Amino acid sequence: MENINLVESFTEFKEFKNIEPSTMMVILEDVFKNMLMKKYGQDVNLDIIVNVEKGDLEVWHNRVIVDDDEVEDPNKQIAYSDAIKIEPDFEIGEEVSQPVKMSDFGRREILAIRQNLASKLLELEKDDIYKKYQERIGEVVTGEVYQVWKKELLVLDDEGIELILPKEEQIPSDFFRKGDTIRAVVSKVEIKNNNPLIIISRTSPVFLERLFEQEVPEVYDGLITIRKIVREPGERAKVAVESYDERVDPVGACVGMKGSRIHGIVRELKNENIDVINYTTNKSLYISRSLSPAKITSINIDEENKRAEVFLKPDQVSLAIGKGGFNIKLAGMLTGYEIDVYRETDSDTEDVDLSEFSDEIEDWVISEFKAVGLDTAKSVLNLPVEDMVKRTDLEEETINEVIRILKAEFD
């Protein structure tokens, strides 16, 4: 029968989509009741019995027995002469229940039921996906890359649910092919064009935090608290940690023996350098630690303007600034202070090696100077520009720019 086929299709859906039997019953009853009311009228008395597990569906039409000449509404009343054909013992005033069969309906009505069922199922599935992932925001998910596009990746989780990894949420050095396994954190879930849109991220600080929870048991158990994470995805990250248990070394526990714990995280983040530092309420010490691996000699803090002047020995300046300026940038983000770095030099030994200016002067230019014996700032400043043009392969404009940078240092 048609009704049995309809219910069987629901049973299959339930098995694949994990829909609760009680929910299935409500949907089936709703769909069939709407269809039957269109046929019999809004106030028709119907009983719909659904057994999703067995795939059974029964529809009973209930009518009151009246005298043959008193039938006003055949959808609610049945003539006595017709009632006793069903059961000879029926009396006037009793209720008669008759089964309604799908064969009583036309092909169009059956098709409408199927379309209505499919629509209800799709709505239920979308709502279920949205609610499920709304609760999983901040969790790490694992999926398989299904499609690679220019601006995003389509990833399928273990249930075949579609996840989107936009280009801006990928680590710059990420490279995935179809079929690759990928890990990311659920960052945002929204409804777009009536469909759930699940955005995942590998650049979010939350992703790094969850990786620490997976790799470091003390973080997962709450013995170590991650106070703040700042990242330049794929380049560098700084993680401030603390523990209220004096027996636990938070930095040592996060790094692990010979870096065993941190190495797994670094690999997942495409060799992103991770600095783990002890959090402290002592601002000077916190700023000092945030500039790791550089070691500062002194610091002046302007609390009102949230600025910090940091003085370092010449050989520590490039470490404090870091490749691409990422180290000092992240230190500022971590501490909330604008950090200015100054070289600390003695009056007797005020000369500075040219290598210390690598953050401002390109390496190949420094190499040109060193090749002709000009390896310190003063050795360059003390030589006429004309002589340097003759000795090196550098343009006069380039040499003048270097002199400007070096003079600014001593000024």
pTM, 2 dp: 0.67
Average pLDDT over residues 318-330: 88
pLDDT at residue 35 is higher than 80: no
Strands 181-192 and 140-148, by their bridges, are antiparallel
Q: What is the pLDDT at residue 3?
A: 47
Return the number of other C-beta atoms located less than 10 Å from residue 49's C-beta: 11
Tell me the C-alpha distance between 60 and 48, whole Å.
6
Confidence class for position 51, pLDDT limits 50, 70, 90: low
Task: Give the mean pLDDT of the chain.
Answer: 85
Within the chain, how many helices (H) and strands (E) appear?
Answer: 15, 15
**Rounded-to-5 percentages of helix, strand, coil across the chain:** 45, 25, 30
193 dihedral zone (left: phi>0; alpha: psi -120 to 50; beta): left
Tell me the C-alpha distance between 75 and 41, whole Å.
8
pLDDT one-digit tens code per residue, 164-209: 999 999 999 999 999 999 999 999 999 998 899 999 999 999 999 9
Tell me the C-alpha distance between 165 and 142, whole Å.
12
Q: What is the pLDDT at residue 348?
A: 47
Confidence class for position 333, pLDDT limits 50, 70, 90: very high
Confidence class for position 34, pLDDT limits 50, 70, 90: confident
Do 141 and 163 form a contact (C-beta atoms < 8 A)?
A: yes
Q: Across 37-46, 70-79, 80-89, 124-133, which has the greatest mean pLDDT?
A: 124-133
What DSSP designation does 397 have? H
Q: What is the pLDDT at residue 249?
A: 93
Mutual orientation of helices 326-335 and 314-321 as an angle, nearest 10°?
Answer: 70
Tell me the C-alpha distance between 245 and 294, whole Å.
28
Tell me the C-alpha distance between 273 and 256, whole Å.
15
Higher-confidence position of 24 and 280: 280
pLDDT at residue 140 is higher than 70: yes
> In which residue are the tokens 């630690």 written?
289
Q: What is the pLDDT at residue 4?
A: 43
Residue 333: Cβ-neighbour burial (10 angstroms; 0-12, 13-18, 19+): middle
Return the number of other C-beta atoms located less than 10 Å from residue 312's C-beta: 22
